[in-house]
Amino acid sequence: MEKLSWIEYQELGTLQRILYNIRRFLAAIPAFFVGIGKAIGRGVKTAVCAVGRELRDLFMTLIKGSWRTKISYLIMGFGNFTCGQIVRGAAFLLFEIVFIWYTVTIGAGWMSKLDTLGDIAAGEQYDPILDTYVRVAGDDSFKILLFGGLSLVFCIAAVIVWRMNIKQSSENDEIIKSGKRPQNFKADIHDLVDAKFHKTLLAVPLLGILLFTVLPIVFMIVVAFTNYDGAHDGFSNLFTWVGWKNFGELFNTTQSNLNYAFKHILGWTLTWAFFATFSNYFLGIVVALLINKKGIKFKKVWRGILVLTSAVPQFISLMYMSKLFAKNGLISGFLQQVGILDAPFDFWGNATSARILVIAINIWIGIPYLMLIATGILMNIPEDLYESAKIDGANAVQQFVKITLPYMLFITGPYLLTSFIGNINNFNVIFLLTGGAISDPKLTVGGTSATDTDLLITWLYKITTGADSNYKLASVVGILIFIVVAVLSLIVYNVLPSNKNEEDFQ
Amino acid sequence: MSEKTSKKLKSLKRKTMTGNIITYVILAIISIVWLIPFFMIVLESFRGETTMQVGYVFPKEWSLKNYAALFAGSDVVKYPKWYLNTLIIAIAVAIIQPIMVLCVSYTLSRTRFASRKLLMNAMLVIGMFPGFLSMIILYKVLSSLGLTGTGAIWGLILVYTASSGMGYYVSKGFFDTVPKSLDEAARVDGATRARVLFSIIIPMSKPIIIYTILTAFMSPWGDFMFASYIAHNTSEGMNVAVGLNNMIGSASSLAAHYTEFCAGGVLVAIPITILFMCLQKYYVEGVTGGAVKG
């Protein structure tokens, strides 16, 4: 798609301009994916180079290093001990002893079973003393995967620590060569509150993220390649590796329900996220403009009323709204009294009404928050922009379209993206509003029934908590949510006018 | 002033007047629409004649028995326990989470170290995975430690706080705007980085710290997904959201407990709203600042 010159662009009508921009955006997408491919290639290249450099360093140090560094290859911490760094040396040595002891006694056993995730199924064995068959436990695939995986992580950590130990030792060599003394323990401690303060501060939070987010996510990604579910729970029935089968089933169009349900839910997730984000966004700006309009009194009161409603925990309003529009709910009852309805109507039982309602209620939930954000930004728009627009004879709508909106969009671009992603994962609004709605038999997968308003995230929840605990499918869906979010973020991030430089403020 | 201009001025005045009146009407309608559900929930919580859903709002018989029923408790309704659970969780999260967030955001904003960019990108990518994905394994591990079901409070506190360092964005945005020259001046005078943090940055960061505490305190009240999974149908371990949802989950329990549910909602909403209103200033600052800085 040719880029038009400025003059040519000015000659286009409004509609043509929009079309032109959309076409340019679409035309840029292939190049964007090529760019991602190249970036991944570059990343792999950098990583391979880094590993190569490390290996070369290790080899060179082994040849050229001092005797204490050479011994450090076998006895960790030796280089520290001989330079007077007792505490560091002791830590390294202790680590080595614990690692070897653990791996030999426990870790190796778990890791050796990782390839099949267990061979001995639980079964019954004849007990001659009791003269009956008793149940004996076999392997537990879940534990093998968990502890085997953790042992592997421990091994990787050991390699890194081992590398650190050699690096420190050869650094000590350099320091001694230059005639100084290696840093003692007291200086190490001082470093932790000063030069290396970041390590002290980040230690606990990063450990938490590692244990409670990273490792579980890695584990669940791995589960997507097994047949782990309620029928293969690991201890009464082993589960094992199945490769890409789970993904294949999801994308296999002949697998009627699963594929249909996935496409249906993915489509609605994106539709919902689009409408939920932009309806809130524009209406929020409009409400903020109304409140901030010149000559309007009691601004604080109007704002306060809206903020007050956002103070009430969401789940209360959501559950209440859910019952309000239910079959025997107030709205249905009221409409019957007035005579509009002649029988109770379940707003959640019908796909169209349920979908419109969740978007409408989401507007009700979200506007106070958006109004606050918009108010903060609107106050920063230079007043003279509006003054000159007025002199040029622009009316209120023109001012909104030409000044307010572009300014807002420019500033809140990143917010819109986060909000869009937040809506893709907006569990509460969908689940608490429509949790008990009638489900579509075509959306039923195994023991899990989904509804027309289900998002991927609520589907994931239902799959996990469903009767057949389909963990493998849950993992696949989780990975797909990640892919959707990641691709969207990358595209939007690249389209945004400016990738802000974070150093600008400082 | 000629007659013509004064006429023009008058018509202009009339125009803005009508504009303002329309705006007032719209604002009034908006306020009513936004407030009415809360009036309704309060009114229904005082309804004495029936516990079922009815087609009218104003109670025919005013009564406090819904509130009494909540506290009397039954096998289904363990409201005081749920309330206490949520309160304990919220207080614990409000203490731990801001510390985690402060550590991460301060470090990423004020210190420069080799893997900083890598760390930020890694956290961004990890954040794109749905949090619930990790719950399947976390549940298995926590339940083997006895931190689910009846012990769900402690499991939930762990789940909420352990990874909370990843929500550092708003707070980092704040620290980014604090001039770096402050740190540098103190460092020249010989202060350690730790001292700079405790005696210069933290006293300056009251608004963002209060914002973080407020949001940390409020979030456990509204969580349903994690809380319901960890509590796993054990009513001892539920938080208010899960408990109330459970209370009106089936058609029969809805008919028996609907007005009690309204009363339960009111009792949660009142303290939270009062707290929120007191700290509203900080909340508004955090929200507007956070959105602008992304």
- Cα–Cα distance for residue pair A372/B290, rounded to 1 Å: 11
Closest CA to B50 of B29, B34, B66, B31: B66
Domain ranges of chain B: 3-65, 75-293
Q: Which of A328, A427, A482 sits opposite B128 (nearest CB)?
A: A482
Task: Summarize the confidence of residues B237-259 as an average pLDDT.
Answer: 85
**A3 within a domain of the structure (yes/no):** yes
pLDDT at residue A382 in the model: 79
Q: What is the mean pLDDT of chain B?
A: 86
pLDDT at residue B25 in the model: 92
DSSP letters spanning A437-501 = PPPPGGG-BTTB---TT--HHHHHHHHHHSTT--HHHHHHHHHHHHHHHHHHHHHHHHHSS----
Same domain, A462 and A363: yes
With a cut of 60, say whether residue B12 has pLDDT above it: yes
**A248 within a domain of the structure (yes/no):** no
**A336 within a domain of the structure (yes/no):** yes
Counting Cβ atoms within 10 Å, is residue B102 exposed (0-12), middle (13-18) or buried (19+)? buried
With a cut of 70, say whether residue B291 has pLDDT above it: no
| pTM given for the model | 0.85
Cβ-defined contact of B55 to A333 (cutoff 8 Å): yes
**A14 within a domain of the structure (yes/no):** yes
- Spell out which residues of chain B touch residue A431, defining contact as CB-CB under 8 Å: 224-225
**A249 within a domain of the structure (yes/no):** no
**A71 within a domain of the structure (yes/no):** no
Residue by residue, pLDDT tens for chain A (506 residues) are 566 777 777 777 777 877 877 777 777 777 777 888 888 899 899 999 999 998 998 888 888 888 888 888 888 888 888 888 888 899 999 999 999 999 999 989 888 888 888 777 777 777 777 777 777 777 888 889 999 999 999 999 999 999 999 988 888 888 888 888 888 888 888 888 888 888 899 999 999 999 999 999 999 999 999 988 888 887 778 888 888 888 988 888 776 688 888 888 999 999 999 999 999 998 998 899 888 887 788 888 888 888 888 888 888 899 898 888 888 788 888 888 888 888 888 888 888 888 999 999 999 999 998 888 888 888 777 788 888 888 888 887 888 887 888 777 777 777 888 889 899 999 989 988 886 556 677 777 777 778 888 899 999 998 888 888 888 999 999 999 999 998 888 877 766 554 444 444 33
pLDDT at residue B92 in the model: 96
Same domain, A220 and A340: no
- Cα–Cα distance for residue pair A286/A294, rounded to 1 Å: 14
pLDDT at residue A475 in the model: 93
Cβ-defined contact of A320 to B37 (cutoff 8 Å): yes
pLDDT at residue A494 in the model: 67
Cβ-defined contact of A323 to B24 (cutoff 8 Å): no
Three-state SS for chain B is CCHHHHHHHHHHHHHHHHHHHHHHHHHHHHHHHHHHHHHHHHHHHCECCCCCCCCCCCCCCECCHHHHHHHHCCCCCCHHHHHHHHHHHHHHHHHHHHHHHHHHHHHHHHCCCCCHHHHHHHHHHHCCCCHHHHHHHHHHHHHHCCCCHHHHHHHHHHHHHHCHHHCCHHHHHHHHHCCHHHHHHHHHCCCCHHHHHHHHHHHHCHHHHHHHHHHHHHHHHHCCHHHHHHHCCCHHHCCHHHHHHHHCCCHHHHHHHHHHHHHHHHHHHHHHHHHHHHCHHHHHHHHHHHHHHC
**A319 within a domain of the structure (yes/no):** yes
Distance from CA of A347 to the nearest CA of B (A): 15
- Cα–Cα distance for residue pair A470/A445, rounded to 1 Å: 10
Same domain, A99 and A239: yes
Q: How many cross-chain Cβ pairs, A to B, lie less than 8 Å apart? A: 274
For residue A151 the two structure tokens come to 């042992």
- Spell out which residues of chain A touch residue B137, defining contact as CB-CB under 8 Å: 146, 216, 219-220, 223
- Spell out which residues of chain A touch residue B164, defining contact as CB-CB under 8 Å: 205, 208
Lowest mean per-residue pLDDT among A129-133, B225-229, B236-240: A129-133
Same domain, A16 and A152: no
Q: Which of A314, A412, A478 sits opposite B291 (nearest CB)?
A: A412
pLDDT at residue B234 in the model: 84
Same domain, A116 and A194: yes
Buried b (16+ CB within 10 A) or exposed e, A166-197: bbbbbebbeeeeeeeebbeeeeeeebbbbeeb
Same domain, A171 and A316: no
Q: Which of A202, A315, A413 sits opposite B103 (nearest CB)?
A: A202
Distance from CA of B171 to the nearest CA of A (A): 14
Residue B166 or residue A350, greater confidence: B166
Paired sense of beta strands A132-136 and A123-127, if any: antiparallel
* Domains: count for chain A: 3
Task: Summarize the confidence of residues B107-119 as an average pLDDT.
Answer: 88
With a cut of 80, say whether residue B2 has pLDDT above it: no
Cβ-defined contact of A194 to B262 (cutoff 8 Å): no
**A446 within a domain of the structure (yes/no):** yes
Cβ-defined contact of B113 to A291 (cutoff 8 Å): no
Task: Summarize the confidence of residues B174-194 as an average pLDDT.
Answer: 86
pLDDT at residue A503 in the model: 46
- Spell out which residues of chain A touch residue B183, defining contact as CB-CB under 8 Å: none
pLDDT at residue B294 in the model: 42
Same domain, A156 and A217: yes
- Spell out which residues of chain B touch residue A332, defining contact as CB-CB under 8 Å: 55
Q: Which of A194, A314, A330 sits opposite B53 (nearest CB)?
A: A330
Closest CA to A188 of A338, A100, A88: A88
Cβ-defined contact of A223 to B136 (cutoff 8 Å): yes
CATH of the domain at A458: 1.10.3720.10
Show the domain range for A366: 254-500
Same domain, A302 and A409: yes
Give this complex's ipTM: 0.88
- Spell out which residues of chain A touch residue B107, defining contact as CB-CB under 8 Å: 197-198, 201-202
Domain B75-293 class? Answer: mainly alpha
Model pLDDT for residues B29-79, shown as the tens digit of each residue: 999 999 998 999 999 999 888 777 777 788 888 888 889 888 887 777 889
